[in-house]
Structure 1
Amino acid sequence: MSLTELQERLGVEITPELLQLAVTHSSYAYEKGGADNERLEFLGDSILGYLVAVSVFKEHSELSEGELTKLKNAVVSAQALATAATQLELGKYLRLGKGEARTDGRKKTNVLADAFEAILGAAYLSSGMESARSIVERFVLPLLENPDAIREMADPKTSLIEKAQKLNLGDVRYEVEGEGPDHQMIYTAKCFVGSKLVAQGQSSTKRSAETEAAIAALKLLSN
C-alpha cells in the first residue's frame, strides 16, 4: 500500500522514512529486523495531550479542572484515537508481523491508536507543531462534537457494565485464553453479559483483549 496516498490523506508533509517508521509495528520489526514506531508513539502521545488540552481549555470555559481532565482523557484515549485512525483508513497502511496480521491487527484499538500517535510524532519532527496540529484538528477534535460517545469510548468496560445494568441484562464477565509462544502470545477474551456470550476480542495482552471484547459488545448492544 502506497504511503504517498496516506500522506495525501493526512494533508501534511512527512519525511517518507519517518512516515514508514510510524506505521511499523513492533511485531514487524521483530520478524524483519530494524526499528519500530514506539519512540515516535512516545513523542506523539505528548504532543497530542498538549494540543487537546489547549483546545478543551479554550472551547469549554464552563468546565472545572476536573471536568476538563476527564474530557481531555476521553479524547486522547485509545478508543477515541482508534476511531480517528479508522476514519483515516490507517489500518491498511500498517506494517505488521504475520501473527499480528493474522489476528486482525489492522483493526485492533491499541495498534491503531499507537500508530496514530506515532504519525503525530513523525509530523512534528518533519514539519513542526503546526503539522501535528493540523492532523489533530482534522481527525481528533471533531470527536468532541459527541461528548457522550467520547466518554463511552474512553472506558468501554465500565460503559458496558452501566449499559448492561440499565438494560437489566445481568453481570458482565470475561473469560480469557492465551495461545502461541511467550514472545508472540495472542489472547482471546470472551465477553459474557448475564449467561450469554455477547462478543469476543483478541490482542497481545489480556487487558486489551478484554477491552476489544467490551467495544464489540457495546456496538452490539447499541444496535
Structure 2
Amino acid sequence: MMNRENIDYVQSAIGYHFKNERLLVQAFIRKSYSQEHPEVQNNEVLEFYGDEALDLYITKMMYKKFSKISEGNFISEKNEGELTKLKSVYVSKHTLAQCAYNAGFYQFLYLGQSDIKNEVQKSASVNEDLFEAIVGAVAVDCDWNFKVIDKVCETMLSMDSMNSYLCVLVLEKCHELGFGEPENIPRLRQPQILEDMHPHNWWEVRIGCEQGQMAPDPKTGLYEYGIRINDKFFSGTGVGPFQAKMAAECKALNYLCHEEIKRKIKKVDYSNPVSQLHEFVQKQIIMEPIYDFSEYHDSDGNPIWRCTVSLEGIPKSFTSEAVSKKEVKQEAALQLLKFFIETEIEESKEWETPVFYTGGARFWSDEMKEEMKRIMKHDSDNGGNE
C-alpha cells in the first residue's frame, strides 16, 4: 500500500513527479486486488503501454549507439541478429525485474488475497510487470513526451546496478578469446544497524534462493566489486555499487582488449615506431595517434622540437624533445608503442569472496561514459588502488 512517503520515494527514485499521482498509484495495483475492489483500476493496460514505450526507448538507444550515416549510406556496427540478441538482454524479464526489485518498489504493491498467499511480490514476473506499468503511467501522465519517457527509462534501468553495457563487452570478449564466463564478485557485508536495510542504503543481490547485501566499506565509505577471468582478478571501488562494478569492468575490458591485440600482433618493429603504430591503425587494432608539436629555443638559441603523442583508450600522453621534428616524433611514438605493447593491465588480489552473480546487460549511456571517465581519473589519482 502507498502512503505519502512511498509516493514521494518512488517519484524521487524514477526522477519524475506526476501531475496526476493517481496514475502512479494505479501502476502498483495488481489485477487480483482490483477483482476484490471493483471500484479501482488495475495496472494491466499501463503495463502494456509501458512495454511499448520501453521498447521504443531501447530501439532508439541501439540506433544511436551502433548506427551512423556515412556518405548518404546507413551503416550499423551490429547486424540484425546481434541487435536482436542485445535487445532481448536489455529488456529481459530478469533485467527489468531486478531494477524494480532493487529499488524496493515491490513493497508498495496492492495485492489480492491470492497474491498475498502466494507471496508473488518478489517474483520476477510481478516486478517486471511493475517496472513496465510505472513507465506506462509516466507515458500517460506526460502525454507521451518522449524526452520525459526516455529520461525515466534511463533512470529506472540504472537501478539494476548489476548490469551495464560494459558487462556485455566483457562477456563477448571473454567468449571470443576462449576464456569462458567471467566471474562477477560483489563484496558483500553484513548490515550493522536495522536502518541500513532500507532500500535507499542497500544494494541487494538475489540469485535463486541465495541472498546477499552489498554495502560500503565502513572505513572508506566506498563499495567494492571484483571480476575474475581465468587466473586474473580485477577489483573496482566506487561511491556506489554501480560505480564499483563499472570500475572493475573497465579494468577487465582493458585486459581483454590487450589480450586480443597481442594475438593480432605477430611482430613489433621498434626501429620505426611511427610506421608500426600506423600499421596498427590500418589493421584496426588502435585508433589514430594524435601528435602535437611545438618549438622553442634553448639558452644558446638552438631550435628544439617537442612532440606529445596521445592515443584514445590510454589515459596518459608521451612527450619527447629533440632537435629534429622527425626524430622527436619517432621518440614520442616509441614511448607510446612500448607502453602499449609492454604494459600489463592492473590486477588485484586484495580480497576473495564466493561468486554470487554472473551476466546481464544494458546500455552504457553518455552519462555513464562521463562517470566512467571520472572513475578512471579517480583511480589514476590514487595510483590505481583504493
TM-score, normalised with respect to structure 1: 0.64
Aligned partner of 2:133 in structure 1 is 118
1:138 pairs with 2:159: no
Q: Distance in 2 between matches of 1:150 and 1:20?
A: 38
**What is the CA-CA distance between 1:60 and the residue it aligns to?**
3.0
Aligned length: 162
Q: Distance in 1 between matches of 2:121 and 2:170?
A: 22
Q: Distance in 2 between matches of 1:120 and 1:76?
A: 13
Q: Percent sequence identity over matched residues?
A: 29
Deviations 1:101-155 (A, max 9, x none): 232222111111111111111111112222221121122266433228999xxxx
Matching of residues 22-101 of structure 1 within 5 Å: 22-33=27-38, 34-61=40-67, 62-101=77-116
- Asked if the contact 1:84/1:139 (under 8 Å) is kept, the reply is yes
Q: Distance in 2 between matches of 1:51 and 1:63?
A: 18
Q: Distance in 2 between matches of 1:41 and 1:101?
A: 20
Amino acid at match of 1:77: S
Q: Any gaps of 5 or more consecutive residues in structure 1? A: 152-162, 164-214
- Asked if the contact 1:21/1:37 (under 8 Å) is kept, the reply is yes
1:108 pairs with 2:112: no
Which one of the candidate residues 147, 169, 176 is aligned to 2:168? Answer: 147
Amino acid at match of 2:208: A
Deviations 1:18-38 (A, max 9, x none): 101111111111122232101
- Asked if the contact 1:75/1:143 (under 8 Å) is kept, the reply is no
> What SS does the aligned partner of 2:208 have?
helix
**What is the CA-CA distance between 1:75 and the residue it aligns to?**
1.1
Q: Distance in 2 between matches of 1:150 and 1:22?
A: 35
TM-score, normalised with respect to structure 2: 0.38
**What is the CA-CA distance between 1:219 and the residue it aligns to?**
8.2
Q: Distance in 2 between matches of 1:102 and 1:222?
A: 32
Q: Distance in 2 between matches of 1:112 and 1:93?
A: 11
**What is the CA-CA distance between 1:66 and the residue it aligns to?**
1.1
Which one of the candidate residues 201, 208, 219 is aligned to 1:216? Answer: 208
Q: Structure 1 pair 217/144, CA: closer, same or farther in 2 (3 Å)? A: farther
Amino acid at match of 1:4: D
Q: Any gaps of 5 or more consecutive residues in structure 2? A: 68-76, 173-180, 182-206, 213-353, 357-386
Q: Distance in 1 between matches of 2:31 and 2:167?
A: 33
Which has a greater percent of strand?
2
**What is the CA-CA distance between 1:217 and the residue it aligns to?**
6.9
Q: Structure 1 pair 18/92, CA: closer, same or farther in 2 (3 Å)? A: same
Amino acid at match of 1:131: V
> What SS does the aligned partner of 1:114 have?
helix
Which one of the candidate residues 7, 14, 23 is aligned to 2:11? Answer: 7
Q: Distance in 2 between matches of 1:132 and 1:10?
A: 10
Amino acid at match of 1:13: H
Q: Distance in 1 between matches of 2:30 and 2:147?
A: 26
- Asked if the contact 1:92/1:106 (under 8 Å) is kept, the reply is yes
Aligned partner of 1:177 in structure 2 is none
Q: Distance in 1 between matches of 2:170 and 2:108?
A: 26
Amino acid at match of 1:23: F
Q: Distance in 1 between matches of 2:153 and 2:16?
A: 11
Q: Distance in 2 between matches of 1:28 and 1:149?
A: 43
**What is the CA-CA distance between 1:6 and the residue it aligns to?**
1.2
Which has a greater percent of helix?
1
Deviations 1:183-209 (A, max 9, x none): xxxxxxxxxxxxxxxxxxxxxxxxxxx
Deviations 1:73-113 (A, max 9, x none): 11112111001112322111211112212322221111111
> What SS does the aligned partner of 1:146 have?
helix
- Asked if the contact 1:144/1:150 (under 8 Å) is kept, the reply is no
- Asked if the contact 1:40/1:122 (under 8 Å) is kept, the reply is yes
Q: Which protein has greater RCO, CA pairs closer than 8 Å, 6+ apart? A: 1
Aligned residues: CA RMSD: 2.9
Q: Structure 1 pair 145/92, CA: closer, same or farther in 2 (3 Å)? A: farther
